[in-house]
Structure 1
């Protein structure tokens, strides 16, 4: 049987034992030729990757969601770009070291202005120019947090004669909580205070979210006097912010930026830390002065300046640090607030008179926010306070 196979598989005169080496060489050459064809023709890639592409975003690298679900991990380090000189729509494939990966539902390059609005409130500032615009970073599934803020410090008609605009900044649900697009659309139709763009709402995309707010102000509300960017788990004493800090009776400041002032902070190089910053992303030994992202306040003119300068600065995932880098490039220095106790990155023990004289306190659940806000409104007059 063995000799039959050899006669019918190889030509006469072929000596299997003496020419095995030649056979192995032939197989090896065939494999090398096949691999050459494989890696020099993009058509072997999954069809969706060729058609839609994998897009590099900022200093995080974002895969389009419909593509990434089926991409093996080995391919998640591919950055695909269209060849300008190739008329056949093939793509050049390059390998790059990726510091972090975020999955988005659309692609945007470093200099793309924004990710496209899913929900927008373009007419918010058309009737009149607000004195204060509240930009609140919140996740799509945090319905209770948004409702609590609407009933407390984010209520737009709190103070007669002072126009406040409240906007919640959202991306797309990244946690699979079942919060559907239609749910958000219904909420927006009722309250008209939601801005949502087409990126995944994750911690590493907080910088994208803040720049979304800056872009919105630049486009739709450029004359606003002051802006406060803060988070959904914050207690904000809007009254003290307006009358104690911003003082509407005087002309608005320009190039003004304040909050919980942070100076002399070094990058965290511990890879296990939430605030890890690689040497590759930020090689410097110290961050420029910045204000904690839990809550900072700036003059309206800075929104456009920060947004425009950000187009030339590689993104960092630490949002407050990144805004500090933008300010440093602009030559604008954040300033400490009038009182060190005005802004807090921790939860301050509640007292009517203490909370009557601060701007922010951290880590509040929606039920707690409602409870202490209502208590403050009932008891604040018992505390000595002078509006200047």
Structure 2
């Protein structure tokens, strides 16, 4: 009995059949070990989570024999099978990757601030220096908004003897196709009023978009008198802006910055808010004074100053707050406009007399912009106090 047990627990003799049997047992044990580890915890595998859930095999120390190649293929199939059956873990890892990417983008090295131009208009100020440049933040797909602005307050020949230049600021559309990208190129070739750089056009990248405009002015149009940064859903009374606020007959101001003045605002610490500001990005209890990003005006000399100082200031995703931080470091204080009613961050109820006396109103659809702009032009002399 004892010899029967020994024979089945450990084969007697070390002949060819015995060695073959031991080799097969060893291979089976190794395979079962790998299967156990992969099905229960596969985090130890190097570079296992890729964009499409596929393993990248390092061939530096690849086996030369056919048997080794066969085993390698078997293991790779087991890994892929395990990955497909471990979806919950992958989703968790991908969520962690997205969160990390968002945090990293907000802490990006300031040396990588400038992105390459996809579309540029470097000769826009070559013939003559404009009095006013309009920097308009717009999304790539908002063609109707750009068309409406071109026909209304963005017209560059509105006022005789006063040169206005408008520029639509665009990033790269993350959902765009070759066809939509070509449509933007065609639009640019027709109107020559688009500048676009190679970054994703998202809300959290509005700071990059604004600094793109600052960098463009500092590089290609440094002698402009005034600049207005605004958004694509704004109504801008450019006549009131020029004649009542900026006054082209007077000498251009320097270190001048105004708009909807905001002072004493605290960072929003609600993680569910669109305007959430993590304490690690901005630990202070109050923001410095700033002007709402819906529309602010500043003297031409500030474009280069703001851009240069931004190179030494950690990036914040709230564009208007960030510009306020830059101004604080420069020792320049934004000032309220002559009348508080000039700049508005909400939709002002339309009337001819009211819109003749304001600079901005918010939340306009392209069709509404066309309607009310044409109405204002027809009736602007009824209540207007602006000189002809």
Q: TM-score, normalised by structure 2?
A: 0.77
- Secondary structure of 2:169's partner? strand
The residue aligned with 2:93 is 74
> Structure 1 or 2: larger helix share?
2
Structure 1 residue 311 corresponds to structure 2 residue 330: no
Match of 2:10 in 1: 7
CA shift in 2, pair 1:179/1:148, >3 Å: farther
Q: 1:102·1:204 contact (CA, 8 Å) conserved in 2?
A: no
Deviation at 1:6, TM superposition (A): 5.2
Which position in structure 2 is the counterpart of 1:203? Answer: 203
| Per-residue deviation, 1:298 | 0.3
CA shift at 1:384, angstroms? Answer: 4.0
Aligned 1:254-333 pairs, distance under 5 A: 254-333=254-333
Q: CA deviation at 1:110?
A: 2.2
Structure-2 separation of matches of 1:258 and 1:204: 23
Mapping for residues 229-240 of structure 1, pairs under 5 Å: 229-240=229-240
Question: Contact (CA 8 Å) 2:134, 2:229: kept in 1 or not?
Answer: yes
Answer whether contact 2:226 2:298 (CA < 8 A) is retained: yes
Q: Is the 8 A contact 2:207 2:317 kept in 1?
A: yes
Provide the C-alpha distance between the structure 1 equivalents of 2:147 and 2:340, rounded to a whole number of angstroms.
Answer: 30
Question: Which runs of 5 or more residues in structure 2 are unaligned?
Answer: 19-28, 57-89
Matches within 5 A, 1:1-388: 7=10, 74=93, 100=103, 109-175=109-175, 180-387=180-387
Q: SS in structure 2 opposite 1:174? A: coil
- Which structure dedicates a bigger proportion of its chain to strand? 1
Offset at residue 173 of structure 1 (A): 1.1
> Displacement, 1:111?
1.6
- Asked if the contact 1:172–1:199 (Cα under 8 Å) also holds between the matched residues in 2, the reply is yes
Change in Cα spacing, 1:281 to 1:99, as seen in structure 2 (3 Å) is: farther
Deviation digits for residues 345-380 of structure 1 (CA, Å, limit 9, x no counterpart):
000000101100100000000000000000000001
Paired positions, count: 330
The answer (yes or no) to whether the contact 1:140–1:179 under 8 Å persists in 2 is no
SS state of the match for residue 10, structure 2?
Answer: helix
**Mapped contact 2:240–2:386 kept (Cα < 8 A):** no
- Partners in 1 of 2:93 and 2:43 — Cα distance? 19
CA contact (8 A) 2:357 2:384 kept: no
Contact 1:207 1:319 in 2 (8 A): yes
* Contact 1:141 1:177 (C-alpha < 8 Å) held by counterparts: no
Instruction: Supply the distance in 2 between the matched residues of 1:284 and 1:336 (Cα, whole angstroms).
Output: 23
Secondary structure in structure 2 of the residue aligned to 1:341:
helix
Structure 1, residues 296-343: CA drift from partner, whole Å, max 9, x if none? 000010000000010111111100000000000100000000000000
What is the CA distance between 1:114 and its match in structure 2? 1.2
CA distance in 2, matches of 1:386, 1:150: 23
Deviations 1:22-45 (A, max 9, x none): x99xx89xx8xxx99966xx7x78
TM score, norm. by length of structure 1: 0.77
Residue by residue over 1:69-102, the C-alpha shift from the partner in whole angstroms, topping out at 9 and shown as x without a partner, is xx976267679xxxxxxxxxxxxxxxx9565476
Q: How far 1:251 sits from its partner (Å)?
A: 0.6
Equivalent residue of 2:222, what SS?
coil
DSSP-derived class of the 2:259 partner: strand
Closer/same/farther in 2, CA of residues 387 and 281 from structure 1, 3 Å limit: same
Given the superposition, is the C-alpha separation of residues 292 and 222 from structure 1 closer, same or farther in structure 2, using an over 3 Å criterion? same
Q: 1:75 to 1:357 in 2, by over 3 A?
A: same
User: Secondary structure of 1:267's partner?
Assistant: coil
The separation in 1 between residues aligned to 2:174 and 2:105, in whole angstroms, is 10
- Deviating beyond 3 angstroms after TM superposition, the runs of 4 or more aligned structure 1 residues are 1-8, 35-39, 44-48, 75-79, 96-103, 175-179
In structure 2, the residue matched to 1:54 is none
- Deviation sequence 1:149-174 (CA, Å, 0-9, x none): 00000000000000000000001113
Structure 1: runs of 5 or more not aligned: 13-22, 52-70, 80-95
**1:7 Cα deviation after fit:** 3.3
